[in-house]
Structure 1
Amino acid sequence: MNILITGGAGFLGSHLCDALIEKGHDILCVDNFFTGNKSNISHLLTNPNFTLIRHDVTFPLYVEVDQIYNLACPASPIHYQFDPVQTTKTSVHGAINMLGLAKRLKARILQASTSEVYGDPEIHPQTEEYWGRVNPIGIRSCYDEGKRCAETLFFDYWRQHKLEIKVMRIFNTYGPRMHPNDGRVVSNFIVQALNNKPITIYGDGSQTRSFCYVDDLITGMIKLMESHKSITGPINMGNPSEFTMIELAELVIKLTSSRSKLKFKPLPEDDPKQRQPNISLAKSKLNWSPKVSLEEGLNKTIIYFKNLLDK
């Protein structure tokens, strides 16, 4: 098939390009390189089944494809708060443009949504039926509400135009090709530990996250796209194993043999206290669950960052 991946030069997008090329598909990778990096897909540039277009999804795109994976949007707080208006436009205008393209082509389209639609949740773990607790005017709202609006648009296109849609809610994902300065906790901790610098923990370190290795996430994403058209989602994808920030920091220090010490700072505004997916739907509908343990995934990620820092 001819498959369009928006945000294809980003962390997740580049791994998706690899996986779909390996399956024999022709890939059209679209990215404006705000957070994507050409180095993530440089190994694919000479592949005859791979095409790269520099384009911003807030503008219409006229191409011919069979499937669309819509991954375009900065996903780390540092990047999405840099230009919050553009972040909202990327989620909302980008969704409108990609849904319009899918409607014209009668193509199946997948939206990479996020666990951030749950905000700072009152229920734990989070199920797809939970509507969330999001601050609509906070500093994270550009991302949270942008993604929530994108989900609204997807389901309205499904109801109004009978479009084949897939919506997945991605929980914390990590692995090689994360941006070293994206402010996400795994990349932060690893880079700080490799440099023997203090590891920055916000709050008292008791807040929790659940970390899914990128290979597991991409497998689930493709399974959802290839599932029966009646499975629209939204569907949670992530690793339900839950860790406190202190537990993560101590494990990273151990795996890197670092001399780093912990340094505590105030908790940022609207930072969720708990985040853990209920993945019962993914298990029952897609026969998907993560396989890679946190220690195994961290070791692979540490090797990537070590090579990056050694260059």
Structure 2
Amino acid sequence: MPKFNQSSPVTFILKGIPGLEDLYLWLSLPFSFMFASILLGNSTILFLLAMESVLDKPMYHLLAMLLLADLVSTLAMMPQVLGLLWLGIQDISLDACLLQMFFIHGTSVVRSAVLVAMAFDRYVAICNPLRYTTVLTSSLVCRLGLVGLAKGVGLILPFPLLLRQLTFCQTVITHTYCDHMAVVKMACRHTGPNRIYGLFVAILVVGLDCLLIGASYALILRAVLKLSSRGARLRALNTCSAHLSVVLIAYGPALFSAIVHRFGRSIPVHIHVLLANLYLLVPSLFNPIIFGVRTKEIRDMVTKHLGHGRGT
């Protein structure tokens, strides 16, 4: 069996979606639609956030960070996926593979950190509304964003660095992009540190961030239940609806994919690969839609610009 290490060029072959090769042209249609929708939706909301002074608020600054992370993740992943589906391009160099892996997993960590910051924003807005503007200052939001970015870089950078030390005995990756564990499986041996660190990152990011979000909403719920009128309780909860929806979409598909991957031994490989693609794309696709529909200020801005477009 041939061995490859960092002293000799390594080119991986992305197998794609095994068993569905004859359907690649048809599969490219929904993937292309999702790619175009993600670019259009996220770019539109980001444009509004940048141009409209009424949206110059902490929650919308955090939203901008979330949408930027979605865009970077999509741009790191989708050109490779569409090249495979459209043109049958399967080769990817080790350096390109590791770079893609870094951006895909790094932006996932940043996205999770931003969702935690959004939960804190909602907690302050509901539990300490009179102190909202003094607590959620622009400098604090900026620091929260930098912490999320540092967390993404700091936790994910060891992935490619550790993989660089391995010798690879296989080069055919059963996937459409360079997922960390898919690349680890290509190594000959000594992958224990990679697997342990990957599990540590998953537990730290998903476990800790979900715990912090859950704690924020427990405090929010306690504060809401103390409100005297039913209308006030509903208004308070409605301010959290967009963020709660985004949290469910961010963690729900990923958790479902992890459960299927762990316990669904008899499930065909192409189902695992499709789920791995969808849990990255679904949040990026629906985040701008959710905030555009559920947030009145953004909805009003979209309506205003559409009205100007018709007027011209």
Q: TM-score range by the shorter chain?
A: under 0.3
Higher helix share: 2
TM-score by length of 1: 0.26
Q: Which has the higher Rg, Structure 1 or Structure 2?
A: 2
Higher strand share: 1
